[in-house]
Amino acid sequence: MLSWFKSGHCERNPDIVWPSRAAKWSGLREAVEGAATEGVPVLIVAHFPDTFDEVQKNLKTAGAVFPTELRQPVDAQPQAVLTMAASFAAGFSAPMLDRLWIVAAERHPLRAREKPIVDFAASLPFPTQLALYASLDEPLFVHCGVSKTLPLLRKVGMDEHSAIENPLLSRAIANAQQVLAKNCRTDRPARSAEEWMTLNAPPSPAPERALPPGVKKI
């Protein structure tokens, strides 16, 4: 993951993974409120329209004003800006700021869909932090079995309200995306990650049945 970053101005935070989407939205709201207190501009990125709507709903208490379309450079926008990841592919004006925090509000099932965000962050000529938020109940992790690591993660410090940052978890996310990239034959647009998985992802492998005692698998 770190190999994506070539610019010395961009700091890549470890993947920030929450046990549930409810906990993730609560954590994002607190982070945006904290950034506003410190005067740090925030750019929040959603991959899917339903996530865009969900972020708007959950961050109202943070006092953020979100434009529905980003037509101007970030420096002409409010303290917190919410946009779709497609904005980067369409060409996104580089803001002139002294610093910026970029947070992806979800992980896309395909790693290639996240690269425009990463490239944009790395291209900025001022200090930039990029954080990728995720939760274990997102469709990608349920599909590939990463969500089953929750009991283990609880043993190393995760509770239902806090996030965890762990290189092994980041590797599991990357591996899950790699598996999907190899097996998905389409990338049809969708309103949500759930719908995207239904339209594009192969069925999850069925778990093997346990054999009766004394019976060997042929």
Q: What is the pLDDT of residues 59-84, one digit of tens each?
A: 876 555 555 444 445 555 457 788 89
**Residue 94 in this model has a pLDDT that exceeds 70:** no
Q: Which two tokens stand for residue 32?
A: 């945006």
Residue 58: the pLDDT is 86
Residue 125: the pLDDT is 86
Gap between the Cα atoms of 164 and 145, Å rounded: 18
Q: Which two tokens stand for residue 75?
A: 């420096």
Residue 155: the pLDDT is 72
Residue 88: the pLDDT is 78
Residue 90: the pLDDT is 64
Per-residue pLDDT of 154-209, as tens digits, reads 776 667 888 888 888 888 889 999 999 999 989 999 999 999 999 999 876 544 44
Instruction: Specify the pTM.
Output: 0.81
**Residue 24 in this model has a pLDDT that exceeds 80:** yes
Per-residue pLDDT of 39-54, as tens digits, reads 888 889 999 999 999 9
Q: State what percent of residues in the chain have pLDDT above 70.
A: 73
**Where are the chain's structural domains?**
7-200
Reported as a pLDDT band with limits 50, 70 and 90, residue 99 is confident
Give the architecture-level CATH label for domain 7-200: 3-Layer(aba) Sandwich (3.40)
